Amino acid sequence: MERNLAQTAKLFGISRNELIRRMRESELLNERNLPRYPTRDREYLRTKEGQWFHPKAGMQYSESTRIKQAGISWLAQRLKLQLPTPPEEKRHVA
């Protein structure tokens, strides 16, 4: 499972802008909010490439950062964030 920056920030209980600021200060993101070291951090972060067709402008391309599942605890440790507590098990065996 992968999360975008907004979903990851919500998981940690901070804003997307705060997460981006901390990641930039820790040199994990570049000025375009993409992984600064994509090869080094490939186990935790990745760049998602997208494209769509605009009727007047033609093909449009985008890139965004995705945090992999293994990157959640890694990011919490790097940024000194509190790891979210797992939800309580709601299934009960009869």
| Span 44-56, pLDDT tens digits | 999 999 999 999 9
* Average pLDDT in the chain: 93
Domain limits for position 17: 2-79
Q: How far apart are CA 16 and CA 67, in angstroms?
A: 13
Domain annotation covers residue 84 = no
Domain annotation covers residue 94 = no
Total domains in the chain come to: 1
Domain annotation covers residue 13 = yes
pLDDT of residue 82: 87
pLDDT of residue 87: 64
Burial class (CB in 10 A: 0-12, 13-18, 19+), 16: middle
Q: How far apart are CA 83 and CA 94, in angstroms?
A: 32
